[in-house]
Amino acid sequence: MLVRELGAQHFINYQLQRVLAADVQYDLILDSVGTLDKGQARMALKKGGRLVNVAGGELAREGRQQVEKLAQYFAAGGLQAVIETVLPLDEVQKAHRIVDSGHKRGSVILLLHEEEGC
């Protein structure tokens, strides 16, 4: 399973179980869809825990320092980009079908122009 390959020790399959169990507190809640109730999610965090919403635009507001820290994590191998597919821009409809399927396993990248080696 992809999340285990990426190093997760515990994860929640939202299709099989409640996302925020009343009796559980978390170190990190990563909302990759942007649909979690932020208030409920914050209440489910342990003291010092973090809520990260990567789908709702919050990441785009991160400052330079946070972006540099992410770059350091990538360089050290602490973060891994997961890419589902790379498509030329003229296949944008196919890209939307993949994303809208709800079953993609990584990012779908559109190339503005073909580069050598892609």
Give the pLDDT mean for 81-87.
89
pLDDT at 7: 76
In angstroms, the CA 20 to CA 25 distance is 9
Predicted TM-score of the model (pTM): 0.47
pLDDT at 92: 94
Per-residue pLDDT band at 55 (split at 50, 70, 90): low
In angstroms, the CA 21 to CA 43 distance is 11
Asked if pLDDT for residue 77 goes beyond 60, the answer is: yes
Average per-residue pLDDT for the chain: 79
